[in-house]
Structures are given as structure tokens and as C-alpha cells.
Amino acid sequence: MQKNKYSSGILQYIPFFYVIWSDDLVTASELNVVQKAIDQDDSLSQEEQKTLVSWLNPKNPPSDKELKAWNQIVSNSEVKLIESETYPLATFSQKVVCEYFDVCPFNDSLKDIEVNLGIQPNHYNHLFDVEVIHESTSDFYDASEIDIILKGGHAEVVDTFRDILKDKIFEWDIHRNKEEFREVVLDQVKFLAERGYGAMAYPEAYGGTGDMEGYAYMFENMIYVDGSLTIKFGVQFGLFGGSIQKLGTKKHHDAYLNETGAAKLLGCFAMTETGHGSNVRGIKTTATYDKATDRIIIHTPGKNDNKEYIGNALHSKMASVFAQLIVDGKNEGVHAILVPLRDENHEELPGITVEDNGYKLGLNGVDNGKIWFNQVSVPRENLLNKYGSIYDDGSYHSDIKNPNKRFFTMLGTLVGGRICVARAGLGGAKMALAVAIKHALKRRQFNDSIKIQEDLLMDYPSHQLRLTPLVASAFVYDVTLAKMMEVYCDDSQPDKRKVETQVAGLKSIITWYANNTIQECREACGGKGYLIENRIADLKGDVDIFTTFEGDNTVLLQLAAKGVLSDFKAEFNSAGFASVLKILGIQISDKLTTINPVYSNKVDKDHLYNPKFHKHAFNYRTRRLTYTLARRIRDYIKKGVPSYQAFLKVQSHLLALGKAYSHELAYNTYCDFIEGIEDEKNKSLFFKLGTLYALHEIRKDAAWYLEQGYIAGTKSKAIRQRVERLCTELRPHIGVLVDGFGIPEHCMSAPIAE
């Protein structure tokens, strides 16, 4: 081997200097990165530092002869450059030094240069005449360990369920006939019910294990099989069965829960109406108590007052119908009543009319329909009376005297469903990411030489930037939803309004995230992503509706924002808003602290990667939006604008606050979770994912932060650069990260992901 003329200290920097100068793209900021690394490298002698610094003068760059000499020294070595190394170029440089000098220390300064310059693996093919080992992903981290961390204490339940999904009944297929598709899905639901999964969240006395947290994990895993199965399952056991469990009393549990959990009694959840959408309090279906017959009369009064988009409508024998309960001429508000729909021959009962909603954008294995009631009479005992009863004497009674509080307490039963919908949406996003990234780790396209193998899609910085932050978000939202379900299931917290507010916002941002992610993955797979066989097309159609049901996202974000405004204490109505302003007057100062210019211009890595900065930025946005929103509403009211109209005027502001609050909540929840990870290597990985999530979200709101003076232009630019560099750092591990989602291999049926 040809002897080189440089010391070991200088030689280790040669590959980096060659990269810097050979592409003619060197910038002052890049040179500053290298200068700083050299200054902090204690292993270098003063003479070595002086030599290296002399090569950083843009006015006097190394000559072509010098560059060729550097290339020859590196190329004459027998070292192979392995793309899948965590720090490929730094590791390669150290191996070259080891070959020449038999000294092999790993220099952190080189690692910092590689990370901060964002050097891409695909550059190496074109720089040195050395063999490059094209391994698509590193084995530095263990996907099974990542999966275990995400499953937490529910590993046994999740793993057992994943094994159940190996049965042939769950093999994915393309369905063109909706009637046949619906029967396939119904059989799958019954199959799961027979194995105890339908009743899983119910008490032991009714065939369950009371495991609502484990139940939520199933929604994420079911969507790996099919979205229609996920929703059909949720309607039968979560909405219909859940309404009996949460709104009914023991007599209802005894009569219906066992058969519901076993899928022997199929039911639907009839809340939404054609003309009233998300306005549940404004639904028009009536449930009038007839004292003479001791029965409740269910009726659809107008043309657009029918129940709409009711899942399980065509297969159901019974419906949990939400209606205005009228007792002795007084409207007591919305209550749920169990109403039989069909007889033993599956014929519609008198007064019942059901129509098929027909083909939809997705979820065509779910039998959505419209339902009309024409003076349908049911026994008084069919009223689900946990929060309101009709006594034997015909009088109405509720322990919750305030009708508004009673209404929102009843709607609190939807919180668990919203978490499950978000879980399913997250599962759809994970599935799409797994398909897109596995495709990008084997699909090659373009480069500048016909002699060299084309570059992997995942090695392109643009491809990393479009997918890697979405992977980081999946981890953050996974952890957050698990915590939300834990809090929701904690009976030691009698006031559920706080978690209702939190879940309303999280369901919105996560289902929007899921749709955006699936679309990005479709595009990232090119034409292959458009083929149904590769699963992303179905995911697009199925997950799309998640932004609408269990609460329209735009409406839910306003609910979340009102929860922030009221500090979870005031009732959400126009009459109570004056008290909201009084609370805010105490809690929020008229002047928020002006951000220090030094802080708004701070761009060093330690600061930008510090969770304290991320938390402060998220919290500042939430507090600032809260204060300015309250002030705007107060000013409108002072001018005589009615409270309801004042809310309409600030609707976009409400939405911004709802999103800000939800992103802050997700990040804080994730940071708390990281503290509990014992293994330092995995903890570091999860920390890096959280950092990417935070900076990516702050970057998306950069315009607002710039307007407020919270960050300056230089800081905004530095955040953008850090997002790109984090994507580069995570590139070697991206395959392991999506494997860490734990998607069962038998569910990964997309040809481009195999």
C-alpha cells in the first residue's frame, strides 16, 4: 500500500475535506462547522490544527493537485464504505487511519461534522474510488425492542391478538361487490367475538376482562387487516355495546351485554341525523313518554331528521337511538333508547324504515344506512337510564340537575370511541409508512453515472424529509394515545371533562395527520402506490372519513379550544362565557413577557435540541393564542355583540388554539414517557424522534412565531436545517423504526413492501 504523507490526526479529516471541496458547494456555515470541530478536537496537535485550518480558506482553496492526492490516498486503502453505518463517513475515515497507522479511535468531532453538514450516503458513490456496501438499513437498534417499548404493559394482549390475525379469514383481498364484502367483514367480526375480543372492554360478569386499554390497541392492529373490519367491530362492540355499558344500568347489562359481546345481538348506534350532523344537542328525533301505555314513542318528525350514516344499519336487530326525551310535555334533552329494528326473520318491524347508504369512498365492507322511525313504541325500560330515569309514576328524575352538564356527561361516553378512531387512523398511517419506506429501501432511481448502481429512494434528502418526520410523529402519537386511554380508564378521576377536551383535540390532529401521511406515502411510491394491491389506495379511502365521524375535526378543535378557555371548569355555552372571561382575567396577565432578542436568535445545537426550548415554544403559542382569543371575545361582547356571534367571528382563532394545545399536549406526554425508558440506547433514539417531531411542528408554524418575534429569521433557518439533519441521522435506522411499529408480517401483503 502506498505510504501517505499525512499524520494520523490529519488523515482522518482527509475524506471530509475532499467531500467539502470536491462538489464546489462549500458555504461559510459549512466551513464554520468544520472549524469548530477542529478547535474542539483535543486529539490534534497545534501543528495539525494549523494545517487543517489552512485548508478552510475559501479564498485559497486546495488545488486540484491536492484534491487528487487526497482521493488517491483514500482510494488506495482497502477499506469498504458501509452505507448502513450510523455515521458512515466518520467510521470510514477512522478505518482508513487504522489501516495506515494501526490506530483506530472513533473521533466524535468527525461524527459532529458528518451530522452537521448533512452528508448523504448516496454522495459516497461518486466521491471515492472505493467499494460501497449498499445495505439498506442498520441493525444498531432492535425493532423488537422498539415494539416492546410501545406496547408497554399490554404486550401479551397485543401479541396474542396479532397471532389471531394469522387466520385465513383475515387474508386481505380486493372486493368489488359491497354485499359480498359486508358478509366477509361480518364473519370476521363474529370470529373475533367468538374468541372473546368483542366483550374485551366489558366487565367479567358479561364475558369481558374490563381491559379498555388493551381494546384500543386492537383498533390499530385491525386496520392492518382492513379498515372495514376495524369500523364494523367498533360500531358493534364499542358504540352499540358501549352505549349499553356506559349509559345503561344493570338491567340493561344483564339483558343485552352478553349477547352483544358475543355478536349474537347485532346493533347500531343511531345518533347522527341528516339535517343536523355534529349538532347532537339539536337532533330532532323525539322519544315521547306516553304515561297511559307506559311506553316511549320514537318518531322522526321531518324530512331531514332521519338517522344517517349509521354503521351496522343493515345487519342490526337493535339500535341505540339518541332522541329528545319528552316527559309530561317537557323536553328533558337528548337521551339514548334501545329500539328493536328487525324480527327473527330479519324483517323490519312496523314503523321502521332502513335504506342503504350505498357505495362510499372507502369502508365499503361496512353497511351504513339511513333510519326513519314512524311512531315506534318501546317499553319504558328501554331508556338507558344511568343519567336520567322515568319513574313508575311517570315523572322524570336525574341526579344531574343541570341539563347542559347532563348532556355533556352523556357525550363523555364518546371519548373512548374517539381514542379508538385516532388509534385506527394512526395504524393506517403506520401501515402506509411501512409500505412506502420498505419500498424506498429497495427501489433505486437515477444518478449521474451509467457505471454506478442507481441510488436508493431513501437516500435522497427530499425523500427522507417527506417521510422521516411522519415516522417521528407516529411514535409521539402512539405514546400519547396510550396515555390518554390510561387516563380515561382511571376511575379515580370522577371529572372526565379534562380528558374529553384533550381527546377532542388529539383525535383531530392525529386523524388529519393520518390522512396527510397516507397521501404523502402514496406519492412517495409513485404509480405503484396507486395500485390497490399495495394497500395504500384502500387506506386513503378508509381513513379519510376518520376526520368526520366520532366528531367532525373542525368542531372538535373548537371544543378543545373552549375547554382551554374555560380552564375545564365553565360550561360550554354562551350564557356561561362571562364567567370564562373572569377566570382568564385572573389567570392571564394583560402583558406577556417580551421574548429576549438573544433567545429569539439562539441557533446552537444544544439549544435547538433541548426539550426545554420545545416545551417553551409550544406553551408560548398556546398561552398567547389563549390570551389574544379571550381578549378578542371580550372586546366583541363589550361592543354589544352576542356571545354566539362573537364566537363565530373568532372561529379561525379557536381552531388555531385547539391545534396548538393538542400539539403541546402530545409533546409533553411523550417527553414524560421517555423519562421512563431504562435502556439508554433506546432512550436516546426516542429522544431524537421527539426532537424531530418538535422542531418539525415548530417549523410548520414558523410564520406565526416570526410574526410574534419569538424566533428571528436566522433561528427559523437553523430549525429547518436541524430538521433536515435529524432526518439524515435517522436514515440508517428508518427500516428498523417502521419494523418497530410491530405490524405483523402476515399483514404486510403489499408487493412493493415485500
Coil, strand or helix: which one is 390?
A: strand
Question: 550 catalytic, yes or no?
Answer: yes
Range ranked top by mean pLDDT from 88-92, 418-422, 638-642: 418-422
- Looking at residue 81, its pLDDT comes to 75
In a domain, 351, yes or no: yes
CA-to-CA distance for 562 and 501, rounded, in angstroms? 8
The pLDDT score that the predictor gives to residue 93 is 84
In a domain, 2, yes or no: no
CB-based burial label for 108 (10 Å; 0-12, 13-18, 19+): middle
pLDDT at 571: 34
**In a shared domain, residues 421 and 408:** no
Closest CA to 696 of 492, 466, 441: 466
Out of 550, 664, 697, 729, pick the active-site residue.
Answer: 550
Q: pTM score, two decimals?
A: 0.87
pLDDT (average), residues 639-665? 94
pLDDT tens-digit readout, 369-425: 999 999 999 999 999 999 999 999 999 999 998 888 888 888 877 789 999 999 999
pLDDT(454) > 70: no
What pLDDT is attached to residue 24? 59
Between 324 and 635, residue with greater pLDDT: 324
pLDDT at 69: 84
**Considering the domain boundaries, does residue 743 fall inside one?**
yes
Which helix (H) or strand (E) element contains residue 309?
A: strand 307-310
Residue 119's pLDDT band (boundaries 50, 70, 90)?
Answer: low
In sequence order, the 6+-apart residues with CB closer than 8 A to the CB of 444 are 453, 454, 455, 456, 457
Of 10, 50, 20, residue with least CA distance to 114: 20
Identify which has the larger pLDDT, 631 or 256: 256
Residue 108 sits in the same domain as residue 127: yes
The CATH number for 512's domain is: 1.20.140.10
| pLDDT score for 569 | 37
| Enclosing domain of residue 204 | 145-261
From the list 370, 382, 318, 363, the residue with the least C-alpha distance to 344 is 318
- With cut-offs at 50, 70 and 90, classify the pLDDT of residue 592: very low
Q: Flag whether 138 is in a domain.
A: no
Cα 118 → chain centroid: 27
Range in 352-366, 487-501, 644-658 with the lowest mean pLDDT: 487-501
pLDDT greater at residue 606 or residue 247: 247
User: If we measure between CA atoms, which residue out of 109, 95, 15, 104 comes closest to residue 55?
Assistant: 15
What are the distances in angstroms from CA 200 to CA 186, 248, 424? Answer: 18, 18, 17
One domain, residues 553 and 674? yes
* Amino acid 564: pLDDT: 87
Q: Which residues contact 149 (CB under 8 A, 6 or more apart)?
A: 677, 682, 686
Domain contains 115: yes
542 with 679, same domain? yes
Q: Among residues 16, 8, 14, 6, which one has the least CA distance to residue 89?
A: 16
Task: Examine the pLDDT at 589 and tell me if it is beyond 50.
Answer: no
pLDDT tier for residue 147 given thresholds of 50, 70 and 90: very high
Give the residue carrying C-alpha cell 425523500: 463
The percent of residues above 70 in pLDDT, for the chain, comes to 90
Which residue from 625, 633, 628 is spatially nearest to 655, judged by alpha carbons? Answer: 625
Residue 142 and residue 736 in contact, taking contact as beta carbons nearer than 8 Å? yes
Residue 341 shares a structural domain with residue 278? yes
DSSP conformation letters of 264-304: SS-EEEE--BTTTTT-GGG---EEEEETTTTEEEEE--STT
Clarify whether residues 228 and 84 are in a common domain.
Answer: no
Q: Which pLDDT belongs to residue 56? A: 85
> What was the pLDDT predicted at 754?
85
Residue 86 DSSP one-character state: S
Q: What percent of the chain has pLDDT over 90?
A: 63
Whether residues 326 and 429 share a domain: the answer is no
- The residues, ordered by sequence, that sit 6+ positions from 514 with a Cβ below 8 Å of its Cβ are 425, 426, 428, 429, 543, 546
Does some domain include residue 109?
A: yes
Per the domain annotation, does 564 fall within a domain?
A: yes
pLDDT reported for residue 412: 75
| Predicted pLDDT at 447 | 56
Separation CA 699–CA 725 (nearest Å): 14
How many CB atoms lie under 10 A from the CB of residue 28? 8
Tell me which of 261, 292, 327 is where a domain ends: 261
- Would you call 59 helix, strand, or coil by DSSP? coil
When comparing pLDDT for 572 and 481, which is higher?
Answer: 481
Final residue belonging to a domain, choices 414, 445, 471? 414
**Cell numbers 402530545 label which residue?**
666
The pLDDT value recorded for residue 511 is: 98
DSSP 197: -
For the ranges 148-152, 311-315, 576-580, 708-712, which has the lowest average pLDDT? Answer: 576-580
Task: Say what the pLDDT of residue 451 is.
Answer: 45
C-alpha cell at 305: 331528521
**Co-location of 343 and 302 in the same domain:** yes
Q: How does pLDDT run across 156-201, given as a tens digit for each residue?
A: 999 999 999 999 999 999 998 999 999 999 999 999 999 999 999 9
**Tens of pLDDT, residues 395-409:** 999 999 888 888 888
Among residues 76, 98, 133, the one where a domain terminates is 133
Task: State the pLDDT confidence band at 550, using cuts at 50, 70 and 90.
Answer: confident
Q: How wide is the angle at C-alpha 360 spanned by C-alphas 357 and 362, nearest 5°?
A: 135
Question: What is the pLDDT, as a whole number, of residue 519?
Answer: 98
- pLDDT at 593 exceeding the cut of 60: no
Cα–Cα distance for residue pair 200/178, rounded to 1 Å: 28
pLDDT of res. 566: 75
- Cα–Cα dist 346/368, whole Å: 17
Better pLDDT: 604 or 120: 604
Per-residue model confidence (pLDDT) at position 396? 96
Same domain, 179 and 242: yes
**Residue 59 clears pLDDT 90, i.e. is over it:** no
Query: What CATH number is associated with residue 330?
Result: 2.40.110.10
Q: pLDDT band at residue 440, thresholds of 50, 70 and 90?
A: very high
Contacts of 406 (CB under 8 A, 6+ apart): 333, 387, 388, 398, 400
String of b and e for 632-665 (b: at least 16 CB within 10 Å)?
ebbebbeeeeebeebbeebeebbbbbbbbbbbbb
Do 525 and 384 lie in a common domain? no
Based on the structure, what is the number of domains in the chain? 4
Instruction: Report the C-alpha gap between 469 and 516 in whole angstroms.
Output: 12
CB 325 within 8 A of CB 292: no
Instruction: Answer yes or no: do 637 and 710 share one domain.
Output: yes
For strands 352-356 and 369-373, give the pairing: antiparallel
Residues 251 and 399 reside in one and the same domain: no
The lowest-confidence range among 96-100, 116-120, 387-391, 505-509 is 116-120
Region of 329 (left: φ > 0; alpha: ψ -120 to 50; beta: rest) is left
Q: What is the DSSP letter of 80?
A: P
Specify if 1 maps to a domain: no
